[in-house]
Amino acid sequence: MIKPHGADTLKPLYVTDATERARLTAEAENLPSLLVSSAAAGNAVMLAAGYFTPLTGFMNLADSLSVAETLHTTTGLFWPVPIVNMVKDISTIKDAKRIALRDPNIEGNPVLAIMDIEAIDEASPEQIRLMAEKIFGTLDEKHPGASTFMQQGKFLVSGPIQVLNYSYFPEEFPDTFRTATDIRNEIAERGWKKVVAFQTRNPMHRAHEELCRMAQERLGADGIVIHMLLGKLKEGDIPADVRDACIRKMVDVYFPANTVMITGYGFDMLYAGPREAVLHAIFRQNMGANYLIVGRDHAGVGDYYGPFDAQTIFDESVPAGALQIEIFRADNTAFSKKLNCVVMMREAPDHTPDDFITLSGTKVRQMLGQGLAPPPEFSRPEVAKILMDYYQVIDAGK
């Protein structure tokens, strides 16, 4: 199986020994506490689950600036996005060396992790803007990721962590949330040797379904890991439970047995386009995938990125040998009325726009809210039914 990034084995930071975990949980009650942001909590969960191997905790300011500017830590590890714990107020931990990190996403703010503080750095407004611009390509406060990053606070609390739980993800998504270790183990159990990963924060329509099928066939992959984001999204995005139901229905009906794993990870969406695509590749390598499908405007939002910037970054900014995982470069996919199947548009040069069935996201949402199913060439009827039920409830509540 493909090796993890920057290490021979995964380095999950979750404390697996129950006795030690209980001891640390008791210790945490007597430690100074820090209520972290949702973004930092997501980072802790990803560190716990092994997805951020080989990192041992949160980055300091020097590493964060280096990653933002050069895509490498100060010690030379290739990494595309700073993994940080940024806070506004350090008064409760100012002189502490060991602290409890508390979860903002669960009522009562239980302890999520214990952290040994190596440094508390104060970033200047210029440094925060520099990092935001490098990561997101914009300082526009309308960009959901850039806005979140710039509002988290100016203090970077860095150091190694020991994680005591996976936040709300196992309870809310027991059939879907999986660690990198879980996925590697299941890949081995299934006997898969070559694996392709598909990232999604949305339900999958026909184009996404066929894209997975194309990638599997063309790469000769044994299986597909559909790996969905389960954390926080921007307003208007479809909730994870609805998306999960849609994907499970599609796979149950339209894919052969033992060809697809449906999994999810606990992280808040960054909407960082090209940089996030590289991060996606790193943690898919860590979970055991040989390939990641990268399509049009991967991890993008609005019109902040070019349609294929998330592909070209692998040519322009990822040094040779930095990653073992490879990307499958996908074009726009749509149903061809001429060929009576879904195709990549670049592979149908004799087509005009009228030869494809395409619908905007706004148009699809309007149809679903009115109880109208999109054409079956665009969305499987079983999937459309789940989405129609969801949107009609949403619209009824307005």
What's residue 395's pLDDT?
A: 62
Give the mean pLDDT of 372-397. 84
pLDDT one-digit tens code per residue, 316-333: 999 999 999 999 999 988
CB atoms within 10 A of CB 297: 18
pLDDT for 78-128, tens place per residue? 999 999 999 999 999 989 999 999 999 999 999 999 999 999 999 999 999
Which of 21-35, 106-120, 288-302, 351-365 bottoms out in mean pLDDT, i.e. has the lowest? 351-365
φ, ψ at 64 (rounded to 5°): -65, -45
Looking from the CA of 294 toward its CB, the CA atoms found within 13 Å total 30
Q: Using CA atoms, how far apart are residues 160 and 48, in angstroms rounded to an integer?
A: 11
Tokens of 343: 């195709």
Active site residues: 201-202
> Is 171 exposed, middle or buried (CB count within 10 Å of its CB: 0-12, 13-18, 19+)?
exposed
Domain limits, the chain: 18-170, 176-396
3-state secondary structure of 375: coil
Intra-chain end-to-end CA distance of the chain, in Å: 50
**Could you tell me the fold of the domain covering 18-170?**
Sulfate adenylyltransferase (3.10.400)
**Residue 28 pLDDT > 60:** yes
Q: Which of 200, 205, 216 is nearest to 262 (CA)?
A: 200
Two tokens, residue 3: 């090796």
> What are the two backbone dihedrals, phi and then psi, of residue 279, each rounded to the nearest 5 degrees?
-60, -40
Going 45 to 260 to 181 to 75, the CA torsion angle's sign is negative
What percentage of the chain reaches a pLDDT higher than 70? 99
Classify domain 176-396 at the CATH topology level.
Rossmann fold (3.40.50)
Contacts of 231 by beta carbon, 8 Å cutoff, 6+ apart: 38, 42, 169, 240, 265, 266, 267, 268, 269
For residue range 148-204, what is the model confidence (pLDDT) as tens digits?
999 999 999 999 999 999 999 999 999 999 999 999 999 999 999 999 999 998 888
Give the predicted TM-score (pTM) of the model. 0.94
Tokens representing 29 are 């009650």
